[in-house]
Amino acid sequence: MLKDKRVRPSRRSFLAGTGAVAAGITVLPRFAVGAEEPKLNFYNWDTYIGETTLDDFKDATGIAVKMDLFADNDELFAKLKEGNPGYDLIVPTNDYVQRMIAAEMLDALDHSAIPNFKSNVAAQFQEANFDPGRKFSMPYMWGTIGIGYRKSKMDGVPDSWKWLYDSDKYSGKIAILSGKAAIESALKYLGHSLNADDPATIKQAEQLVIRQKPHIKVFAADNGQDLLLSGEVDITMEWNGDVLQVMEEDDDIGYVVPKEGGELWQDCLCIPKGAPHPENAHKFINYILDAEAGAAIADFIQYATPNAAAAKLMSEEYRSNPAIFPPEAVIAKCEPSVYQGAKRARLMDEAWTRIQAA
């Protein structure tokens, strides 16, 4: 268990699913001058930066960071879709990085201005299937989708998707994330890649979920951790950060990434097109990828850092927490969800609509 008892609302707060949280729209002036003014407009998730990171960066470089918050990737995407309102640095999740690259919403990064990337970031994050060559994105934090469970109600550790998808053992006490994730984890259980795009394979996963429906209590819109905490369900599919949050409140809750593997997500630092201060943004990215600054952030937000140099500075407790860092063998089976175009998006959405209508 974490000793850290700070009240730390989850980044993927349950309100995010409803789209009800809206960060204020800030239209910022643009300055098209050669030497950049010492300012940076940072668009980030809530509680997703170190306690003093922004101040420390200002002390080190004189650049004042103004941070706005968004609640989910859809909101971030929607806000930048019709033109950048003045942000220099954003934090999209991997599949949205890819969508933004495809929609030409991101500026290419100048790797020579980010020396800390090569020297500090772990080998497995040097490349990315959603951004070959890491041209547009730098890894910020990563995590998994796995199983949150109430220890006292389980026989051992439920380390397989079977307990959610193919068993009546916890009938009526099961929650599964709604949408794409519900189908993708089922694909993992069936031994496929979660990015499978073959209609017959997706159909197979769809039928698995439909067959399991009588035992599933609810398709949770990102609030599985609350259902778990309130005793509504005993086992749920959730983002690791969300489960970690309720683990701090309740010792009886655990988290495991199933042995079949699950989704590995990665939040990335990207510079949107039309950023008024791209040089400052590069400086800030390099600062975040610094060992000490990175460790300070990871220590505060308790997500897994891809920054190997920073991880070395962290406590054993952080590095050995399975909810933050699953075992190597399991990570090897995890994969990031890749955006594969409108055709697959439609297949998945139709499968999801049919699952609920069945």
Residue ranges that bind other proteins, judged by CB under 8 A: 15, 17-20, 74, 81, 99, 102-103, 105, 172, 179-180, 213, 216-219, 221, 230-232, 342, 345-346, 348-350, 352-354, 356-358
Return the residue matching tokens 């609640």.
71
Helices (H), the chain: 53-61, 73-81, 94-102, 115-120, 162-165, 180-189, 199-212, 224-229, 240-247, 278-288, 291-301, 308-312, 316-319, 328-331, 342-357
- CA-to-CA distance for 27 and 23, rounded, in angstroms? 12
- Cα distances from 269 to residues 168, 190, 250, 272, in angstroms, run 42, 33, 32, 10
SS3 316: helix
68, β-bridge pairs: 43
User: Judged by CB, which is closer to other proteins: 60, or 102?
Assistant: 102
Quick one: three-class SS letters along 82-151? CCCCCCCEECCEHHHHHHHHHCCCECCCCHHHCHHHHHHECHHHCCCCCCHHHCCCEEEEEEEEEEEEEH
Minimum distance, C-beta of residue 65 to other proteins, in the bound complex (Å): 28
User: Judged by CB, which is closer to other proteins: 112, or 152?
Assistant: 152
User: Judged by CB, which is closer to other proteins: 107, or 290?
Assistant: 107
Minimum distance, C-beta of residue 271 to other proteins, in the bound complex (Å): 18
Structure-block tokens of residue 185? 């984890």
Is-contact 174 216, C-beta < 8 A? yes
Minimum distance, C-beta of residue 355 to other proteins, in the bound complex (Å): 8
Instruction: Indicate if the alpha-carbon torsion angle 255, 261, 263, 264 is positive or negative.
Output: positive
The helix-helix angle for 180-189 and 199-212 (nearest 10°) equals 100
Minimum distance, C-beta of residue 81 to other proteins, in the bound complex (Å): 6
Minimum distance, C-beta of residue 342 to other proteins, in the bound complex (Å): 5
Give the distance from CA 48 to its chain's centroid. 11
User: Judged by CB, which is closer to other proteins: 129, or 353?
Assistant: 353
User: Judged by CB, which is closer to other proteins: 30, or 81?
Assistant: 81
User: Judged by CB, which is closer to other proteins: 176, or 334?
Assistant: 176
Question: DSSP code of 256?
Answer: E
Minimum distance, C-beta of residue 127 to other proteins, in the bound complex (Å): 23
Minimum distance, C-beta of residue 165 to other proteins, in the bound complex (Å): 13
User: Judged by CB, which is closer to other proteins: 30, or 213?
Assistant: 213
Count of CB atoms situated within 10 Å of the CB of 266: 22
Minimum distance, C-beta of residue 211 to other proteins, in the bound complex (Å): 12
User: Judged by CB, which is closer to other proteins: 154, or 313?
Assistant: 154
Contacts of 139 (CB under 8 A, 6+ apart): 121, 125, 128, 266, 267, 268, 269, 306, 307
User: Judged by CB, which is closer to other proteins: 242, or 290?
Assistant: 242
- Cα distances from 182 to residues 176, 198, 288, in angstroms, run 6, 17, 33
- CA-to-CA distance for 337 and 307, rounded, in angstroms? 21
User: Judged by CB, which is closer to other proteins: 51, or 232?
Assistant: 232
Minimum distance, C-beta of residue 290 to other proteins, in the bound complex (Å): 34
Minimum distance, C-beta of residue 78 to other proteins, in the bound complex (Å): 8
